[in-house]
């Protein structure tokens, strides 16, 4: 004696399955909608993060350029001041010898 074939649904479970089918379809539809929404959200976030990253790089590049220009300007001013110091030393030495 073998028991009932488990692949053949009994009349009771067939009725329950019929009632559960629309619910399962609703769940699958909801799951698809959720997946689509999350996919769109993920794509949107990815794009926003990428744009933010590009903006940070752009600002960093601008600041680097500005810093380089400032350093260049400071060096040129320093050269002018060094030249002026040289001239003043010469003048000082000349006046010192002239007075002594």
pLDDT digits (tens, 9 = 90+) for 38-83: 999 999 999 999 999 999 999 999 999 999 999 999 999 999 999 9
pLDDT at residue 1 is higher than 70: no
Half-sphere exposure of 67 (CA within 13 A, CB side): 6
Q: What is the CA radius of gyration of the chain?
A: 42
For the segment 24-33, what is each residue's pLDDT rounded down to a tens digit?
999 999 999 9
pTM of the model: 0.51
pLDDT of the residue at 41: 96
* Top-confidence residue, 98 or 67: 67
Q: DSSP class of residue 7? A: T
């Amino acid at each position: 004696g073998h028991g009932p074939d488990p692949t053949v649904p009994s009349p009771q479970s067939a009725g329950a399955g019929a009632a559960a089918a629309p619910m399962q379809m609703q769940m699958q539809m909801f799951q698809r909608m959720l997946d689509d929404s999350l996919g769109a959200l993920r794509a949107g976030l990815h794009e926003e993060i990428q744009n933010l990253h590009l903006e940070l790089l752009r600002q960093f590049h601008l600041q680097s350029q500005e810093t380089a220009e400032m350093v260049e300007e400071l060096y040129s001013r320093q050269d002018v001041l060094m030249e002026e110091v040289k001239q003043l030393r010469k003048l000082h030495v000349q006046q010192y010898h002239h007075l002594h």
